[in-house]
């Protein structure tokens, strides 16, 4: 990296014990491993990450994380509720490392465990983009399919298009649009201190493949992710 050494780049994985869609989702088995382990392994394999830390209030997650090679920060239970925002968890983790170790990272890589198909190469791509552009943040995004034909559904079930029926564009004429995928947030520490948010200042987008952007919310997502992993493994073996 150009302006932040690897040793000062921290991968932070928030993994609480509770969840709604899938009971104890971060420990749910996926292709033979607990869900959180896929993200830990990706972070550890990234060449531009210096430390990998999991923030959790859950003893079982802490044990699984340590066995997978991550360090663990004990998170207070009040910061592990359904309504807890990510930023207070980030602030707690950074304050903990500063207070107990005197460790103050320059760059933080926030990795949600719910994106198991986001690999080490994507993390390194994001960190290179941060270094090469000198930006403040890098945000993982995924393409939105048929964004030029989007709309909303009203209270009566009526279609409220964001386009005019008689002026539909061909897909190749429409400007591509993207959405946050939740898989990757990279930011300089000062951004969190200045804005109270993981995003602020000069934010650059890192376009990720839709497969890399798969997010685990319900049981069907676990099944889909496993099928995609098996398909990718077959392609590698055939190649």
Sequence-ordered strand ranges (E) for the chain: 9-14, 29-30, 33-34, 51-56, 71-74, 107-110, 137-143, 151-153, 159-161, 178-188, 203-207
> Where do the H-state alpha helices sit in 68-113?
86-101
> Which CA distances in Å does 23 have to 13, 80, 102, 218?
19, 15, 36, 10
The tokens describing 231, both together, are 């398909």
Whether the CB-CB separation of 40 and 68 falls below 8 Å is answered with: yes
The tokens describing 113, both together, are 């465990």
Give me the active site residues, please: 168
Residue 22 to residue 28: CA distance in whole angstroms = 8
Residue 71 to residue 186: CA distance in whole angstroms = 19
Neighbours of 145 (CB within 10 A): 10
Residue 93 to residue 99: CA distance in whole angstroms = 10
Residue 189 to residue 47: CA distance in whole angstroms = 20
Radius of gyration of the chain (CA): 19
Kindly state the DSSP code that residue 201 receives in the 8-state scheme.
Answer: S
């Amino acid at each position: 990296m150009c302006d932040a050494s690897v040793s000062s780049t921290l991968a932070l994985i928030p993994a609480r014990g509770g969840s709604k869609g899938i009971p104890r989702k971060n420990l749910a088995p996926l292709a033979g491993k607990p869900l959180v382990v896929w993200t830990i392994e990706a972070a550890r394999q990234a060449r531009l990450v210096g430390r990998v830390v999991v923030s959790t209030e859950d003893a079982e997650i802490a044990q699984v994380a340590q066995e997978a090679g991550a360090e663990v920060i004990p998170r207070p239970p009040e910061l592990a509720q359904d309504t807890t925002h990510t930023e207070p968890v980030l602030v707690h983790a950074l304050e903990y490392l500063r207070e107990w170790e005197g460790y103050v990272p320059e760059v933080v890589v926030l990795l949600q465990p719910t994106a198991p198909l986001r690999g080490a190469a994507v993390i390194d791509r994001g960190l290179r983009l941060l270094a090469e552009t000198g930006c403040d943040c890098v945000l993982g995004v995924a393409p939105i399919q048929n964004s030029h034909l989007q709309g909303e559904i009203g209270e009566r079930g009526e279609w409220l298009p964001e386009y005019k029926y008689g002026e539909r564009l061909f897909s190749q004429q429409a400007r591509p649009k993207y959405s946050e995928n939740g898989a990757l947030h990279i930011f300089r520490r000062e951004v969190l201190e200045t804005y109270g948010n993981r995003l602020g200042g000069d934010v650059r987008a890192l376009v990720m493949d839709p497969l890399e952007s798969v997010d685990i919310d319900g049981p069907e997502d676990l099944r889909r992710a496993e099928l995609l992993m098996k398909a990718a493994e077959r392609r590698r073996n055939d190649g």
